[in-house]
Amino acid sequence: MQVDVVLFAHFSGFQPDGKGGRHARTFELAEGTTIADVIAMIGLPDEPRVIFVNSRHAPEERELRQGDRLAIFPPVAGG
């Protein structure tokens, strides 16, 4: 199945092609792949993150589906 993955802020440097930036990359994943599996595959550091699938908050245990768009952000604070 194909899933688009976009990483934000300093996470963008972990995109597999090394280009970084906030551009989605399409991944070919096996059925049953979870968000946690993608995080491990990409090698994101073990630090807090905010996760959305198709613009809705999602837990790392969620299984991804064909055509999903996974977005991962580091925590943000404003002032």
Task: Give the C-alpha separation, 7 to 43, whole Å.
Answer: 12
pLDDT for the residue numbered 64: 98
Between the two ends of the chain, the Cα-to-Cα distance in Å is: 40
pLDDT for the residue numbered 5: 95
Domain boundaries along the sequence of the chain: 2-73
pLDDT for the residue numbered 37: 98
pLDDT for the residue numbered 20: 55
Give per-10-residue mean pLDDT for the chain (79 aa): 94 74 85 97 93 98 98 81
Partners of residue 6 on adjacent β-strands = 71
- Under CATH, to which class is 2-73 assigned? alpha beta
